C-alpha cells in the first residue's frame, strides 16, 4: 500500500507540475512577454533541480522518504499560492523577478517529490529481482512523462 500511495502522489504531482508550467507560460504570453523573458522565469526552476538532486539523497537518507515526499508536495502548494501573488499591475521586470523566485520553490518541490517516487521502487524490490526493479522504474518514468503532457493540456485549458 505505501508503494501505491507514494507512486500515485508522484504521478499526480507530475500532472500539477506540467499544468503549473503551462499556466505561467500562457499567462506570460497573454501579458506580451518575449520568449527570452519567459525562459528566464524558468532558470531557477531548472537550477533548483540540480542542487536539490545533490542534497535530496542526503535528506532522504537522514529524514526518510516520507518526509522528503511530503515536503515536496507541500512546497508545490506554496508555489501555487505564491503564483497567485503575480499582479497584473507589475512591470515586466518585477514580474520576471517574482515569478523566477517562485519557480525556485517549484523546482525544489519537483525533485523532492521525484526522490520519493523513484526511491520507493528500490525499497520494495528485493535485491534478487533487480531486473524487475529496472522495469518498474522504467514504467514509472514513462507514466511520469506521459502525465506531464496531460498536465500541459490541463494547464492550457
C-alpha separations of 8 from 27, 38, 69, 93, 137 in Å: 29, 30, 12, 38, 14
- List, for residues 21-35, the tens digit of each pLDDT value: 888 999 999 999 999
- List, for residues 122-144, the tens digit of each pLDDT value: 666 666 665 665 566 666 666 66
- List, for residues 79-111, the tens digit of each pLDDT value: 999 999 999 999 999 999 999 999 999 999 988
Q: In terms of Cα–Cα distance, which of 24, 9, 16 is closest to 151?
A: 16
Backbone angles phi, psi at 85, to 5 degrees: -80, -5
pTM for the model stands at 0.77
B/e letters for 102-127, b = 16+ CB within 10 Å, e = fewer, are bbbbbbbbbbbbbbbbbbbbeeebee
Amino acid at each position: 500500500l505505501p508503494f501505491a500511495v507514494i507512486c500515485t502522489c508522484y504521478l499526480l504531482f507530475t500532472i500539477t507540475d506540467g499544468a503549473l508550467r503551462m499556466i505561467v507560460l500562457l499567462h506570460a504570453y497573454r501579458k506580451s512577454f518575449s520568449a527570452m523573458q519567459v525562459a528566464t522565469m524558468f532558470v531557477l526552476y531548472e537550477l533548483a533541480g540540480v542542487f536539490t538532486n545533490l542534497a535530496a539523497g542526503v535528506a532522504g537518507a537522514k529524514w526518510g522518504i516520507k518526509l522528503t515526499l511530503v515536503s515536496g508536495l507541500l512546497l508545490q502548494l506554496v508555489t501555487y499560492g505564491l503564483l497567485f501573488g503575480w499582479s497584473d499591475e507589475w512591470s515586466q521586470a518585477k514580474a520576471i523577478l517574482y515569478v523566477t523566485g517562485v519557480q525556485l520553490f517549484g523546482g525544489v518541490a519537483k525533485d523532492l517529490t521525484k526522490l520519493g517516487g523513484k526511491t520507493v521502487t528500490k525499497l520494495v524490490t528485493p535485491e534478487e529481482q533487480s531486473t524487475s526493479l529496472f522495469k518498474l522504474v522504467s514504467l514509472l518514468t514513462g507514466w511520469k512523462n506521459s502525465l506531464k503532457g496531460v498536465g500541459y493540456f490541463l494547464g492550457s485549458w
